[in-house]
Structure 1
Amino acid sequence: MTQDGATHSDDAAAVTMPRTIRPVAMVTGASAGIGAAFAEALAARGYDLVLTARREERLAALAARLAADHDAACLVLPADLADPQAPQALMRAVAEAGWRVDMLVNNAGYAVPGDYADSLWLAQRDFMTVMVTAVAELSHLCLPGMIARGRGQILNIASLAAFLPGAPGSTQYGAAKAWMLRFSEALSQELRGSGVTVSAICPGFTYSEFHDITGSRETVARLPRWLWMDAQAVARQGIDAALAGRPVVVTGRVNRIIALAFRLMPAALATALVARASGRFRRRQSGSGPPPSA
Structure 2
Amino acid sequence: MARRICLVTGASAGIGQAIARVFAERGYDLALSARREDRLKALAQELNDTWGAQCHTIVADLTDPNAPQRIVQWLYTDGHHVDALVNNAGYGLQGGYLASSWREHAAFMQVMVTAPLELIHLLLPAMQARGFGRIMNVASLAGLLPGVQGATLYGAAKAFLIKTSQALNLENATTGVHVSALCPGFTFTEFHDVNGMRDQVSTLPNWLWQDAKTVAQLGYEGLESNHAIVVSGTANKAIAGLSKLIPDTLALSLMKTQLHKFRRSD
Q: Work out whether the TM-score is over 0.5.
A: yes
Q: 1:56 aligns with which of 37, 40, 48?
A: 37
Matched, 1:142 2:110: no
How far 1:35 sits from its partner (Å)? Answer: 0.3
How far 1:284 sits from its partner (Å)? Answer: 5.5
The CA distance in 1 between the partners of 2:135 and 2:258, in whole Å, is 32
The SS at the match of 1:99 is coil
Matched, 1:79 2:41: no
The CA distance in 2 between the partners of 1:223 and 1:80, in whole Å, is 32
The CA distance in 2 between the partners of 1:160 and 1:43, in whole Å, is 26
1:142-187 per-position Cα deviation (integer Å, ceiling 9, x unaligned): 1011000001110000110011111211110000000000000011
Indicate conservation of the 8 Å contact 2:85/2:136, yes or no.
yes
Matched, 1:199 2:185: no
Q: 1:117 aligns with which of 98, 122, 126?
A: 98
How far 1:21 sits from its partner (Å)? Answer: 2.9
1:233-270 per-position Cα deviation (integer Å, ceiling 9, x unaligned): 00000001101111111000110000000011111001
| Pairing 1:179-198 to 2, within 5 Å after superposition | 179-198=160-179
The CA distance in 2 between the partners of 1:278 and 1:69, in whole Å, is 41
Matched, 1:174 2:151: no
What is the aligned-residue identity percentage?
50
Matched, 1:278 2:239: no
The CA distance in 2 between the partners of 1:119 and 1:157, in whole Å, is 24
Indicate conservation of the 8 Å contact 2:128/2:176, yes or no.
yes
Q: 2:236 aligns with which of 238, 245, 255?
A: 255
Indicate conservation of the 8 Å contact 2:201/2:261, yes or no.
no
Matched, 1:162 2:162: no
Q: TM-score, normalised by structure 1?
A: 0.89
The CA distance in 2 between the partners of 1:241 and 1:178, in whole Å, is 18
Matched, 1:25 2:6: yes
Aligned residue for 1:230? 211
Structure number with greater CO (CA < 8 Å, separation at least 6) is 1
> Structure 2 counterpart of 1:45, which letter?
R
How far 1:279 sits from its partner (Å)? Answer: 2.9
Aligned residue for 1:217? 198
> Structure 1 counterpart of 2:158, which letter?
K
> Structure 2 counterpart of 1:135, which letter?
P
The CA distance in 1 between the partners of 2:221 and 2:52, in whole Å, is 21
Unaligned runs of 5+ in 2: none
Indicate conservation of the 8 Å contact 2:4/2:27, yes or no.
yes
Indicate conservation of the 8 Å contact 1:94/1:100, yes or no.
yes
The CA distance in 2 between the partners of 1:34 and 1:94, in whole Å, is 23
1:209-231 per-position Cα deviation (integer Å, ceiling 9, x unaligned): 10000100011000000000000
Once superposed, which parts of structure 1, at least 4 consecutive aligned residues long, lie more than 2 Å away?
none
Aligned residue for 2:47? 66
Aligned residue for 2:227? 246
The SS at the match of 1:77 is strand
The CA distance in 2 between the partners of 1:168 and 1:197, in whole Å, is 34
> Structure 2 counterpart of 1:29, which letter?
G
The SS at the match of 2:204 is coil
How far 1:41 sits from its partner (Å)? Answer: 1.1
Aligned residue for 1:266? 247
The CA distance in 2 between the partners of 1:65 and 1:237, in whole Å, is 22
Indicate conservation of the 8 Å contact 1:215/1:284, yes or no.
no
Q: TM-score, normalised by structure 2?
A: 0.98
The more displaced of 114-123 and 128-137 is: 114-123
> Structure 2 counterpart of 1:121, which letter?
W
How far 1:281 sits from its partner (Å)? Answer: 2.1
Aligned residue for 1:102? 83
Instruction: Say what the alpha-carbon RMSD is for the aligned residues.
Output: 0.9
Indicate conservation of the 8 Å contact 1:164/1:274, yes or no.
no
